[in-house]
Amino acid sequence: MDKITLAVAFVALAGCAASVTPRLPAGRMNVPADIVAPCSADRRGSQACADALGNAAVISQIHKGQSQTEVRSIMGHAAERREVGAFTESWGYLTSYKNQMMTWITFTDRTVSSLTHEIVGGH
């Protein structure tokens, strides 16, 4: 009798859980939308968005004193923006597509002297 009661309780709980848990396509996890689809659904700016995701993943590896060659190697591609001054050179990498945040890496004598952030406008 105990086995039958236990079996009925198990089936009832399984049915209850199935009715509450949303059905997702095979291979898709239930995660927040900004992780699954941080870019525009219509794929506008998809390359910029992909670059920003990659940039954000590695920007924390950039530190004062690193050479331009080291930075280029870490970032994996040329900067989206570049500014050259009398004594400095700055490379801008988009690090948040959603917020349109550009991270600027400034070089003095070809080594990193600072990192700053700038919101560059809507997309």
CATH number of the domain that residue 92 is part of: 3.30.1450.10
pTM score of the predicted model: 0.67
Identify the pLDDT of residue 121: 76
Identify the pLDDT of residue 39: 73
Of 109 and 30, the one with more pLDDT: 109
Q: What is d(CA 74, CA 72) in angstroms, rounded to the nearest whole number?
A: 6
Q: For the chain, how many structural domains are there in total?
A: 1
CB 51, CB 39: distance < 8 Å: no
Burial (Cβ within 10 Å: 0-12, 13-18, ≥19) of residue 18: exposed
Which residue range is the domain that position 101 belongs to?
2-119
The separation between CA 70 and the C-alpha centre of its own chain, rounded to angstroms, equals 22
Tens of pLDDT, residue by residue over 10-64, are 555 555 544 444 554 554 444 444 444 567 666 677 888 889 999 999 999 999 9
Q: Which residues pair with 89 in a beta bridge?
A: 84, 107
**52: Cβ contacts below 8 Å, ≥ 6 apart:** 94, 95, 96, 97
